[in-house]
Structure formats: structure tokens, C-alpha cells
Structure 1
């Protein structure tokens, strides 16, 4: 969570995580933190490049928005460069964006359906650039939201990075199954996640693909600490947005989020994020997501106690998980 840790510390923690048995990194692409107390928001592409030098696992932005702050061509170039630096390790996570990060460039902030359409058109632009650049030819694009003059990516890995789309609803999940390599969502109740996996598989079948062989990624927020009281305090202070039971995509300022965070109560995390000092409780929740069919799980412990978390989970949680 680059909105919570300075870039050098984030890089060091990624290396520490790998030493405890973790095998990959998902880094957030934020222009602002959720709340002012989080205090950071570094540029994801710079940090991922530094993490790549200190680790050996997979790495990707989870997720970036190639529709407002950055044109899809710029995101494609950033992704291709990271793929060239670290062959076979980088994947590209794409989302439809939140006003908190995207409104800063002063553009009109549209409703969710338009944001999703813009996202999938951006995916088309990026895929064209990847395919054309690997083939050594220029491409162009003219669509409802984006134009691309005749060009190519002059730095391109031999194999294009996988493209994963963030999906929180069944329509987007099905569309992702038809058009990209995999999908990303956040952890939650089984009755919300199972339909997403089903719709993604349906979309994949519609174009002759097998969803079982495609990446299905979940970002799992959690709060672990030495005591239950400390775990809950970390959740309330460090990650109150995890307990906000309302849409957040249209909120524009960390200070607005800060006001809303004051309404969050301990019971608001129930069913949304495990808050516990018991590693076994966390292991069971991670296993539940694996059993649903997710192929990769990225863990985000919301406290500042990262070194202790990595040691405990590397020793007491990861070895007990069944793929």
C-alpha cells in the first residue's frame, strides 16, 4: 500500500516478504492517500522497478487506471518497459479508477458505466500496442474515448505482460473473461465472490477459453496484531476505508474520506476484513478464497507492524495453505 509507506520502506518490505516465503507483490497506483494520516502516495512504476531489483517474484500494479491521469499508450509503455526489465515476472492490472486519484487532472468525472467502457477501450489500445510492437509494426486507434496516432512501443518484451482487469460486479467480470487474461477483485463473502468467478468463466467460454487456466487474483485486506485489541485499533486508525459500507469511487479528497472515517465502528469490518490476533483465523480465511478458485492472493496487513506480520505469517500461515 504505497499510500501508507515511503517508497524505500515499501521496497525493503517487499524484499523482507520474499525472505519469509511470499512470492509476489501487488502495489497500489494512487495519486493521493485515502486519508491524510496514511501520509504517502509514491509513483507505482518507479517503486515496482526498484522492487524488481530486490526480489525474484511476480510484480504488478493493482490496479492502474489508463483512462484519466495517463493515456493508455503511456501505461502500455510503462508496462512494456517493466516487462523488458523483468521478463516473465510483470503483469498489468487495470481498473476503471476512483475520483480520489483521477480527478486531479481536472477532467469530467463520469458515471460508473462510462468509466468501465473507457477502461475496456483502454485495454483495446494497450493490447493493440503490445501485439503490434511484438510484430514490429505500427498501430493506430480511433474510438469513442481515445485516439492513438500511428506508432509502436520501441521497447517491448518478447512476450506481452498479462492484462488483468479489476471487477467488482458480474457484468464486468464476464466482460473480463471475454477480453483479457485474468481478473482481480478484493476479498469478501463467498456469496459475492462465487458469482464473479462464475461470470468470468462464462465470459471466457464464450470466446473459447478455459477460465481454469487463467489468473484469478484476489487482494485480501486483513488486520493481524499480537492482540485482538491492537488488531482492531490498527484497522480503525490505519485502514478505516476497509469498514466503509458505501461506494467510494466519487469521493475526491483524503480530507473528505477522513470525515467519513470517523463514522466507522468495529462492527463495520465484519464480513469485509478479518481482524484477529489468531493466525489460524487468517489462515482459514485465505484458504476459503483458495478453495473458491482464486489462483493468486495478495495479502495486505493494515497495521504498521509489517516485520512481525511477515515473520508470523511466513512461519504459521503460509505453510498450512493448500493450493
Structure 2
């Protein structure tokens, strides 16, 4: 049985707006929250990027829903020991309703301290080592570690997680899906790709949850919705590894000139056709996702939450 959550896009909204969306999501019948972790937005039209760990602390005092990072990168901008402390505190604040989604990251966020941006294979090795370090720290024992990528010297978390803290691993290609199956407690992927899920299951993910989701733009005017999605989130439609290697919002704006309005109209549920939204979300259910997160693009959040409360979520439950 799949559960449906709301995706909080830190790139697009202010802290106050994100907290209000969390309240509305709870009232609308969404049963969980996901939240992005970015240092930069993808482009200037999005225009925000609050610190995810501050947001999670605020969310813990705002709603009672589970919260998952989709996803944070614990390898370059933040050391895994620091990420482990932040995650453990989040777990405490949420009384065990926190899950740590992690991935190999994007240069957009991780280059800001001047570090070299490694190849995918190296980033995957770094993530595997980081996950092992964090799990060891979550025990509350004193940890010293000398690895190929990280050093931890007599570190101990005195505020440990509330119970077991799951680490879900993101992946968008065969190698990443297999890594998630091998080291993750779950698999995060944004498209309903049954082949990737199969690779995850075959690599050790059998019985583990699959998480992901989609962005939509609910609006009574479909053309206006397409324009909104094309203006704010064309970056969702860039091919290949561009999202991992481009370093600044300006570069993403340049690349996004290749994304056409028709492409967005075809790929993003836009407008107020309930069946279009239901069909798009149900594709994730049919592909085997246990958790499906939906994010509304643009300012008309009230209409989105009303529609999903009254029409879309009841149809998905039926």
C-alpha cells in the first residue's frame, strides 16, 4: 500500500511558505513530508534556498508528519560526521519520524567551498564510506575512522537518533540503483522506472521501500499552468548528467533554453484535470513505490491543497 506525501521545495519557497505548506499538507490528508536540501536554487526564477536542517527543526514544531530529506549530500559540502549529528537531532525532534535520504549530490551545491567535483564513481565510493561512518556514529559509541575519503577522530554523538534512523539512497542510473540496494534502507528515484527498481531489488533491496515523486502545477487555466512550470522548473527536464555537473544557476538557465514549453506540457501534470493528476501519481504506485511525494509548482498552493484534499487523494485511495 502506497502512502502519499507532500514535497517541500526549498529552492522555490521561503521558510515561512514551506511551514505553511506543511500545515496545509497535513490538513489536506497527505501523510508525510519530503524536503529538498540545496545551497543554491536551480535558477533565479525559483529564488530561494533555506538551510534544510533549520527547516526540519521548525517542521518538528509545526506538524506531526514524518519528514524525509530528498535528498541530502553527506560527502562534500558537509562532512558525514556533521550530517550524522544533524540527522540524529532531527530524529529526536521528530520522535523517530525522520528518515535520511542521501545521494551523491550536484556540483551546483557541493562546489561552493572550492572542492574538486569528483567523477560519479568516486562520488559513489565517498557516499558508501559516508553512510558507513554515519551508521557507526548513530550508535552513540565513540568513533575513530581513517578511510580513503574521510577521517573521524574520537567523535561521539551524545544526542543519538530516536530509535533506528533509516538511510535511503538516491539513484538515477544502474550503478546508483545497485549501490542503493547494497547499502540503503530504501531507494529514492524520481521517475517510475521499473527497470531501476528491479536493479535495486536484485542488488539487495528486496523488501525495502522505494520513494520518489513528481511536481505538478494545479491551475484552472492549463496554459497558465504550463507557463508557470516552464518558467520555474525547466531544469527538471534536462537530460543526462547535466544536473550533476553544472555549477551555477546561471549555467542551468543557459541549458534550460533547450527545454521547450511543449516538453513541459507533455511531462508535467498541469491544469485542473483530476484524472491527469491521478494517472500521473498512480504510475508511481503501479511501479512499486511505497512513498509518493507530490509538489505544487508556483504560488497557487491553496487551490492545489483544496483539489487534492477533495478530489485527487480520495480518487487515489479508491
TM-score range for the pair, normalised by the shorter chain length: over 0.9
- Consecutive unaligned residues in structure 2, runs of 5 or more: 1-8
Counterpart-to-counterpart distance in 2, 1:271 and 1:203? 33
* 1:270 Cα deviation after fit: 6.3
SS at 1:79 equivalent: helix
Matched, 1:236 2:244: no
Which one scores higher on RCO, CA 8 angstroms, separation ≥ 6?
2
Cα displacement string for residues 248-272 of structure 1 (whole angstroms, at most 9, x for unaligned residues): 2111111121222233212323664
Give 2:5's aligned residue: none
| Contact 2:96–2:162 (8 Å) recurs in 1 | no
Alpha carbons 1:48, 1:60 under 8 Å: kept = no
Q: Which residue of 2 aligns with 1:111?
A: 119
* 1:119-169, Cα deviation, whole Å (9 max, x unpaired): 1111111111113x1xxx212221111111122110013413110011111
1:219 aligns with 2:197: no
Of residues 174-183 and 41-50 in structure 1, the stretch that sits farther from structure 2 once superposed is 174-183
Q: 2:33 aligns with which of 18, 25, 31?
A: 25
1:10-159 residue pairs with structure 2 within 5 A?
Answer: 10-131=18-139, 133=140, 137-159=141-163
**Equivalent position to 2:299, from 292, 304, 320:** 304
The answer (yes or no) to whether the contact 2:87–2:161 under 8 Å persists in 1 is no
- Structure 1 position 276, deviation (Å): 3.9
Counterpart residue number, 2:281: 286
Aligned partners of 2:222 and 2:272 also within 8 Å: yes
Asked whether the equivalents of residues 226 and 265 of structure 2 are also in contact (C-alpha less than 8 Å), the reply is no
- Equivalenced residue count is 309
For each residue in 1:43-70, what CA deviation from the matched residue of structure 2 results, as whole angstroms up to 9, or x when unmatched?
0010111112111111022101111110
Output the CA distance in 1 between the equivalents of 2:148 and 2:266: 39
In 2: Cα distance, 1:100 partner to 1:149 partner: 29
TM-score by length of 2: 0.93
RMSD of the TM alignment (CA)?
Answer: 1.6
SS in 2 for 1:2: coil
1:161 is matched with which residue? 165
Match of 2:244 in 1: 249
1:273 equivalent among 264, 268, 277 = 268
What is the SS of the residue equivalent to 2:58?
helix
- Counterpart CA distance in 1 for 2:105 and 2:23 is 28
Q: Say which SS state the counterpart of residue 150 (structure 1) adopts.
A: strand
Is the 8 Å Cα contact of residues 60 and 94 (structure 2) preserved in structure 1?
Answer: yes
Q: Given the superposition, is the C-alpha separation of residues 223 and 124 from structure 1 closer, same or farther in structure 2, using an over 3 Å criterion?
A: same
TM-score normalised by the chain length of structure 1: 0.91
SS of the aligned residue for 1:92 comes to strand
1:208 corresponding residue in structure 2: none
Q: How has the CA–CA distance of structure 1 residues 158 and 259 changed in structure 2, closer, same or farther, with 3 Å as cutoff?
A: closer
Work out the CA distance in 2 between the residues paired with 1:194 and 1:270: 23
Matches of 1:276 and 1:203 in 2, distance apart?
39
